[in-house]
Amino acid sequence: MRSGRTDAVTGMPDERLQGLAEDQAVRLLAAHGPNVVTAQRPVPLRARVLAQLRDPLIMVLLGAVVLTVVIGDYADSAVIALVVLVNTTVGVVQEVRADHAVAALSAMSAPTARVRRGGADKEVPSSDIVPGDVLVLGEGDIVPADARLVDAAALLVDESMLTGESVPVDKSPRSERPDDAVLRAGTVVVRGRGTATVTATGADSALGRVARMLDTRAEPTPLQQRLAALGRVLAVVTLALCVVVFLLGLLRGTAPATMAVTAISLAVAAVPESLPAVVTLALALGARRMAARHALVRRLSAVETLGSVTVLATDKTGTLTEGRMVVERVWTPAGEVSLTGAGYEPAGEVRVAGRPARSEEVRPVRALLTAAALCNDAGLRPPAPPPHQGGDERWTAVGDPTEAALLTAAAKAGCAEPGVLRDRWPRTAEEPFDSVRKRMTTLHHTPAGRLLVCLKGAPEAVLEPAVLDEPLALLHSARDRAAAYAAQGYRVLAVASAERDDAPARVADAEAGLRLLGLAALADPPKAAAVGTLADCRAAGITPVLITGDHPATARATAERVGLITEADAGDVVTGRALAAGEVPDLTAVRVFARTDPGQKLDIVQAWRARGHVTAMTGDGVNDGPALRRADIGVAMGRRGTEVARQAADLVLTDDELSTVVSAVEEGRRVYDNIRRFLLYGLAGGAAEILVMLLGPLLGLPLPLRAGQILWINLLTHGLTGVAMGAEPVAKGTMRRAPRPPGQHVLGDGLWQRLLFLATVVTAGSLTAALVARGAGAPWQTVLFLALLMAQLGVVLGLRDRLLTRENLFLPVAVAASAGLAAAALYLPALRTLLGTVPLSPPEAALALAGAGLGFLAARLSGRWRVADGAREHRRTTAGT
């Protein structure tokens, strides 16, 4: 679409507004670099390896390698060195994969900007902005780089993030103060529009200079912090128990060097030292899966928080409803008509009482819609031609959906095309719509040389004697009709106009003495999936709340249609005026809020948080930014949302569907469940190994396991199988249980009891197999080694929620590979020498393999306890709600 912009003073085409040619932009981007304030430096491979080797337990293992070499125990030293090598490799690979996943998410969530290049407007990534680019800015945009204004209309910019000044600043290229024509990167357009030429990008911009003073290191997520604290506690406890094992061995006469290596190996095997890396990878991959389901996570911590959401505060337009406004009825002082057609396609007809309207009945409707089309900044985009891949197959709105619906209605009524109207009545000035005035006014030159004033806005802001020069009886009639439309769920706009001889000093001065043209009633039908989505929220223990700026009657009608409230509910819609007057003692008792302002949205979110709830809030406008920041999870609309909303949010919906939030909550619960599953498996196995080493000597098994055998078990259980658990599919009934409390310990909700149960069963089964083998004269240490390893692999499969699922085939493959390596430890000569094992006969092997079945059954039994406890908790929570 070509730009027809002209200089606001001379009225002549302004060459400064044509923008750079594409080849110029490419050359400048190569010369100046990307418009990024802080480029993330890649971490060298050697730094990653050293970071892994600095882990305290790995350093202890390296000491064990030195010790075993000194005493001549080369077999154990080789096994320990192999474990260090594998653990370091896995840790580095996990870090790299997580970094790549996060980098991909950052690229997907990168902000965009509108620029004019070669005279055409286009949207480009903000990182591609270069000095000399022409920026096209509108309400809600974040200024992507330092720039100097060339053209502006009622431009108001919030510079608080740079200057600390809370009051927005008027910007104009014709101001006497030079700073009024300067825009700085990172500031926000609060009102109006403008065109500016970029002067500095990236680190050279104002935002870049500030960013250089900031610490850009990534902070660990709350879950990672809790797990790190848990790891420190486990390390202390484990080391204490290993000291006990060491002392018991000395009392039995075992060589100190042998017991030192054994105790060190046991400490490393008992603590899942790779857990932080596994968690980071699980969070990053969870975020990638959410992105595939149209939920773009901007902060990793949001992945874990989503699983705890208890309240979903949603707006109405485009979230619960289609966001594709349609003018269905038009009222004028001459009568009422209806318009047919769906969506933004300019096809339909004007009807009166079920028949096509006559010419004289259409005339006043055409006058109203002509004024509405002039007082309008939107456009209509036709469907992409069939060869165009990925194009929209429907007519779509360019700009505000309500204004686009008015253009569609104007076409149905036979008005001239928007471009023709704007050429015939060129705009000379404007006063944009804002949430305080609730109306928009434009001034136009008429073909006769006079001035045409066009105004549209909310009925309560237009149907006033201060605005309209009409009889009071007509104003009362119009107000009654507007109220009736709103009660039926319509969004209502009043339209007025007048012709003047002289231009006023200010546009606002023209908003008086106008003639009422009538009312336009617009419908925004609920989305087909809205009813089911809210039902899914309730089933998951999430309370939906509607917060909208629309009329209370419109909000009520929509809430009833989507099942948020019923017709029998009384006093269920609260207005912003009631909130301001302090008439609502408990905000958490209300499910529908109407006519709210940004501050009140904050109050509502804070009220729920004060009650201990975890809140998710959707939004798309500039005024939603503060509440999106305050909510535990801010959810912005990716398609129709402003850049302010997207940057303030934790989650961006690329399809603008509320059902995607439910999918993201499900994914968040899946990630958290898989991390807890890994903890249960890893800690239960580690506890079993410690118990075997503590209890074995008391049962006549002098040195139950050698150091190399302990580490081989650790390698096969915490290696591929442990990582594969992080990709398990979502459990059955995940969205039919109450959200987990945000303050719940990671081992809470019965996990530590299940851990002790599994550790006890695995220990008892393994020691029993060893004692039976000893009684039969079989190699009991090898039987114990194989039984303990296979019991843990049995636990892995038993902990699966969907036992025979084809999802995550990596897990059974990893278990099979670990079992094969366990067999190799017995029957491959080189490994037998390293690990000190011997081949087992079929009956002896069967005795050890019985541990796998025992571990599997124990895990399935503990899972049944969890399901029963979860069902009781969900019934209790649902009854309370």
Catalytic residue annotation: 315
For the chain, percent of residues with pLDDT exceeding 70: 83
Between 37-46, 414-423, 506-515, the lowest mean confidence (pLDDT) is in: 37-46
Beta bridge partners of 148: 182, 197
Whole-angstrom Cα distance, residue 299 to residue 650?
6
Between 361-370, 378-387, 688-697, the lowest mean confidence (pLDDT) is in: 378-387
List, in order, residues 6 or more apart from 91 with CB less than 8 Å away. Answer: 52, 274, 277
| 220 DSSP assignment | P
Q: pLDDT band at residue 160, thresholds of 50, 70 and 90?
A: low
Whole-angstrom Cα distance, residue 829 to residue 821?
13
Tell me what pLDDT residue 526 has. Answer: 84
Between 102-111, 185-194, 254-263, the lowest mean confidence (pLDDT) is in: 102-111
Mean pLDDT comparison of 250-254, 679-683, 872-876, highest-scoring range = 679-683
Residue burial 362-380, b: 16+ Cβ < 10 Å; e: rest: bebbbbbbbbbbbbbbbeb
Whole-angstrom Cα distance, residue 525 to residue 533?
15
Residue 579 tokens read as 């909130």
Q: pLDDT band at residue 595, thresholds of 50, 70 and 90?
A: confident
Q: 321, 305, 311, 323: which is closest to 651 by C-alpha?
A: 305
Q: pLDDT band at residue 55, thresholds of 50, 70 and 90?
A: low
pLDDT 10s digits, 138-157: 877 888 899 999 988 878 88
List, in order, residues 6 or more apart from 667 with CB less than 8 Å away. Answer: 286, 289, 290, 293, 295, 303, 306, 730
Q: pLDDT band at residue 453, thresholds of 50, 70 and 90?
A: very high
Alpha helices by DSSP H, 417-512: 418-424, 459-462, 472-487
Tell me what pLDDT residue 220 has. Answer: 57
Tell me what pLDDT residue 76 has. Answer: 63
Q: pLDDT band at residue 48, thresholds of 50, 70 and 90?
A: confident
For the chain, percent of residues with pLDDT exceeding 90: 37
The SS3 call for residue 841 is coil
Q: pLDDT band at residue 1, thresholds of 50, 70 and 90?
A: very low
φ, ψ at 647 (rounded to 5°) = -75, -25
| 614 DSSP assignment | -
Tell me what pLDDT residue 625 has. Answer: 75
The dihedral sign for the CA sequence 38, 40, 46, 50 = positive
Q: Given a cut of 70, is residue 392 above it in pLDDT?
A: no
Whole-angstrom Cα distance, residue 123 to residue 373?
25
Between 50-64, 445-459, 675-689, 751-765, the lowest mean confidence (pLDDT) is in: 50-64
Q: pLDDT band at residue 272, thresholds of 50, 70 and 90?
A: low
Between residues 802 and 793, which one has the greater pLDDT? 793
Long-range CB contacts for residues 647-651, cutoff 8 Å, separation at least 24: 647/111, 647/142, 648/624, 649/298, 649/619, 650/297, 650/298, 650/299, 650/301, 650/302, 650/305, 651/290, 651/295, 651/296, 651/297, 651/298, 651/302, 651/306, 651/616
Mean pLDDT of 78-106: 66
Q: 543, 452, 562: which is closest to 504 by C-alpha?
A: 452
Tell me what pLDDT residue 391 has. Answer: 47
Half-sphere exposure of 192 (CA within 13 A, CB side): 19
Q: pLDDT band at residue 743, thresholds of 50, 70 and 90?
A: confident
Between residues 505 and 6, which one has the greater pLDDT? 505
pLDDT 10s digits, 600-627: 888 999 999 999 899 999 987 766 777 8
Query: CA 22 → CA 17, 107, 128, 146, 207, distances in Å?
Result: 15, 22, 11, 20, 26
Q: 284, 705, 316: which is closest to 526 by C-alpha?
A: 316
Tell me what pLDDT residue 103 has. Answer: 58
pLDDT 10s digits, 521-577: 998 778 888 999 999 999 999 999 999 887 787 788 889 888 898 766 655 789 999
Q: Report how far Cα 749 is from the mean position of its chain's Cα atoms.
A: 26
List, in order, residues 6 or more apart from 399 with CB less than 8 Å away. Answer: 377, 378, 379
Whole-angstrom Cα distance, residue 503 to residue 441?
13
Whole-angstrom Cα distance, residue 258 to residue 707?
8
Whole-angstrom Cα distance, residue 25 to residue 747?
55
The SS3 call for residue 479 is helix
Return the CA Rg of the chain. 34
Q: Given a cut of 50, is residue 13 above it in pLDDT?
A: no
Between residues 851 and 641, which one has the greater pLDDT? 851
pLDDT 10s digits, 638-682: 777 766 677 778 888 888 888 999 999 998 899 888 888 888 998
Alpha helices by DSSP H, 315-426: 359-374, 401-412, 418-424
Tell me what pLDDT residue 574 has. Answer: 92
Q: How many other C-beta atoms lie within 10 A of the C-beta of residue 454?
A: 26
Q: pLDDT band at residue 274, thresholds of 50, 70 and 90?
A: low
Its pTM stands at 0.70
In the chain, the largest separation of any two C-alpha atoms, in whole Å, equals 114
Q: DSSP secondary structure string, 390-417?
A: T--SS-EEES-HHHHHHHHHHHHTTPPP
Q: pLDDT band at residue 334, thresholds of 50, 70 and 90?
A: very high
Cα angle: 343, vertex 335, 523; to 5 degrees? 25
Domains annotated on the chain, with CATH: 15-32+110-211 (2.70.150.10), 219-294+668-880 (1.20.1110.10), 305-321+527-656 (3.40.50.1000), 326-523 (3.40.1110.10)
List, in order, residues 6 or more apart from 763 with CB less than 8 Å away. Answer: 687, 688, 691, 692, 695
The SS3 call for residue 847 is helix
Whole-angstrom Cα distance, residue 738 to residue 614?
12
Q: pLDDT band at residue 856, thresholds of 50, 70 and 90?
A: very high
Mean pLDDT of all residues belonging to the chain: 83
List, in order, residues 6 or more apart from 473 with CB less than 8 Å away. Answer: none
Mean pLDDT comparison of 277-291, 294-308, 576-590, 702-716, highest-scoring range = 576-590
